[in-house]
Structure 1
Amino acid sequence: MVRRPARNPRILLPWVGLAVGIGGLGLQFSLSMPAYAAQGKDIPGSLGTFLAFYTILTNIVLVLVYLSVVTTWRWLEVFRHPITRGLMAANIALVMLYVYLVLRHLAVLEGQALTADNMLHYLAPILYLLWWVIAQPHGALKWANLPLMLVPTLAYLVYVLARGAWVTEYPYPILAVQKIGYGAVLLNSAYMTAALAALMAVVIAADHLLARFSRTVPA
């Protein structure tokens, strides 16, 4: 019996993550767009709703990070930066934790909807975090980077609230201004930002620890 050589997980994981990300996004897109059309939305309106979800946007960014790994395309350079990859580790962890602790209790999913949900909210985050730990070079993140790492999420909050004021539609209950008011939304946003900042602190600390560990392991 000829034994096959073990595959390098650093090479394999980006491809697996890419397949899961594209597959999950494609499946969710194929389910969401007809559902939005059935609600009377046109194509731009349906796309706007689809792209308002933080889960969708973060998973799109993960796909771009993986593409930056497996290709040499210059336009993906920003997704090769340690800060981008580090902030995405914290963001996708927040997505997974929020869905598991809060959103999964709000609806019962079955069939393809459950498959897409599991791919985007659990499998994709776990794969990315695993890849970030074992395959991403470490030691580049600094504590001073933390405020900058929060900027994309703060920009998202501004975008969602501005869009919601225009179309009266919000992707998550904690942001539904028409139901709970701006005061509660701003308080919820502050809580989520604090939680994300804590996760980013964990990521930066882990980056420092992993860098130190990699220097103590013989090549």
Structure 2
Amino acid sequence: MNDQYPGNRQVFVAVGAVIGWLAVGLQLYLIILNRVMSIPLTIVQFFSFFTILTNILVALCFTFLWLRPQSDRGNFFASPQTSTAIAVYIVIVGLVYNLILRHLWAPQGLQRVVDEALHSVMPVYFALYWFIFVPKKKLAWANVPVWLLYPLGYIVYILIRGEFSGLYPYPFIDVSKLGYAQVMQNSVFLTFAFLVISLLFVGLGKVLSRNI
């Protein structure tokens, strides 16, 4: 972990952990409150969203960096490779929502606050954490294929689960409405987006590390 600003870093990750867990917890409360299925099925559906899984990953990262920075998990989340992978994932969450999904609904009240926290605040906040605090000299192009395993695994899981449940968390991977051909095309496009953003982070990391 970059020790150039240790005090500021601890405050930054503490704030990120609190905001992250509040956003995820409130979203769980709201989805249960407004459920159209049983509570168990609603909870299963809640944890099928890439947004939720990735925001939990961000919150876990900040929590271990805040409370257990010297532990094995703290060191794992502090590594440039792990931090950059998480940055890629949460930035994609923000980009996909704001470019593709935002126009599909208009949340109000508390739901709007939570929605912005999950899809806008946390992506920007974690990107800032990466930019300011993460050491970047050890980032390598070879890291990128490993980072793609999480989104690829997620797509496979959702398609298998959807085959049995008929439930898909996002319209662009809804086989029941689009068919497998279109969903596969969309999945390839998403994977390419992950690849491009990953390469951009590595490239930016190399440029920034040379300027330090």
TM-score where L is the length of structure 1: 0.89
One-letter identity of the residue aligned with 2:28: F
Give the secondary-structure state (helix, strand or coil) at the position aligned to 2:105. Answer: coil
Matching residue of 2:118 = 120
Matching residue of 1:210 = 208
Matching residue of 1:19 = 18
Is 1:13–1:127's contact at 8 Å kept on the other side of the alignment? no
Q: Percent identity?
A: 32
CA RMSD of superposed structures (Å): 1.5
Equivalents in 2 of 1:175, 1:163: separation in Å?
12
1:126 Cα deviation after fit: 0.7
Is 2:10–2:65's contact at 8 Å kept on the other side of the alignment? no
| Deviation digits for residues 105-124 of structure 1 (CA, Å, limit 9, x no counterpart) | 00011001100000010111
Matching residue of 1:69 = 65
Equivalents in 1 of 2:44, 2:209: separation in Å?
40
| Deviation digits for residues 85-133 of structure 1 (CA, Å, limit 9, x no counterpart) | 1111111111111111111100011001100000010111111000111
Equivalents in 1 of 2:132, 2:98: separation in Å?
24
One-letter identity of the residue aligned with 1:148: V
Does residue 140 of structure 2 align to residue 142 of structure 1? yes
| Deviation digits for residues 22-55 of structure 1 (CA, Å, limit 9, x no counterpart) | 111111111012222xx23242x12210001011
Is 1:13–1:131's contact at 8 Å kept on the other side of the alignment? yes
Unaligned 5+ runs, structure 2: 1-5
Is 2:65–2:74's contact at 8 Å kept on the other side of the alignment? no
1:144 Cα deviation after fit: 1.1
Does residue 38 of structure 2 align to residue 41 of structure 1? yes
How many residue pairs get aligned? The number is 205
Give the secondary-structure state (helix, strand or coil) at the position aligned to 2:38. Answer: coil
Matching residue of 2:175 = 177
Equivalents in 2 of 1:73, 1:32: separation in Å?
34
One-letter identity of the residue aligned with 1:142: A
